[in-house]
Chains A and B, each alone.
Chain A
Amino acid sequence: NAGVTQTPKFRILKIGQSMTLQCTQDMNHNYMYWYRQDPGMGLKLIYYSVGAGITDKGEVPNGYNVSRSTTEDFPLRLELAAPSQTSVYFCASKEDRMGNQPQHFGDGTRLSIL
């Protein structure tokens, strides 16, 4: 049982490049989340999904896109990388059988835009 797996662990991009951060979970959770964490700060929600085919914006969605074609996968897309998107990105999933279940987090992707 791997939990939440994020790839890659590290990436350096040039300004204007695009990339997809991958997130997959093997717990059959319907709820999935993408957060970013800037140095010394807490996590801020970018996008979330309550099930396959359903996504919604979080607190800081500008510059990002998501899709959710399967229960397992929730990729995050950066179309035109900007220095302000340098951050650590965390994916999380949650069982929704009971509304109070906690989120399970991946180990993060450290992204630098130069």
Chain B
Amino acid sequence: DAKTTQPPSMDCAEGRAANLPCNHSTISGNEYVYWYRQIHSQGPQYIIHGLKNNETNEMASLIITEDRKSSTLILPHATLRDTAVYYCIVRVDNGNQFYFGTGTSLTVIP
């Protein structure tokens, strides 16, 4: 049973906002949602994480629904360098392991 579900691919025009959804309907009340991205098979790069409130940092914004069953990562002004695979990650069964899934391949189009 997948802990997270993401669309396999998305396109976004350069300069526009990229909105990447994630479904995590089985998340428990005290588990955080983490977002990472991976460029050209490099090591995953941390983007942002949150529990229940919306979060924003210099890279992105994270919107978590009130029931916490889904979230959306927003890249406000996508650039070509944002082309990557984006992973929504949750902790497995409140333990020490994290579920990565297969992510969303985002292509930013000039």
| Least Cβ–Cβ distance between A82 and chain B, in angstroms | 22
Q: Which residues of chain A are near B97, meaning CB under 8 Å? A: 45, 48, 58-59
Q: Which of B44, B101, B103 has the most CB of A within 10 A?
A: B44
Q: Are A108 and B43 in contact (CB under 8 A)?
A: yes
* Consensus secondary structure, chain B interface: loop
* Consensus secondary structure, chain A interface: strand
Type the 1/0 row for B84-110, where 1 means its CB is closer than 8 Å to any CB of A.
000100000000111011110000000
| Least Cβ–Cβ distance between B29 and chain A, in angstroms | 13
Q: Which of A4, A43, A45, A107 has the most CB of B within 10 A?
A: A43
A56 interfacial by beta-carbon distance below 8 Å:
yes
Q: Are B49 and A41 in contact (CB under 8 A)?
A: no
Q: Which residues of chain B are near A43, meaning CB under 8 Å? A: 44, 87, 100
Interface residue ranges, A against B (CB under 8 Å): 4, 31, 35, 37, 40-45, 48, 50, 56, 58-59, 88, 90, 92, 100, 102-108
Q: Are B43 and A105 in contact (CB under 8 A)?
A: yes
Closest residue of B by beta carbon distance from A56: B96
Q: Which residues of B, 5-55, contact A by the 8 Å Cβ criterion?
A: 32, 34, 36, 41-46, 49, 51
Closest residue of B by beta carbon distance from A3: B43
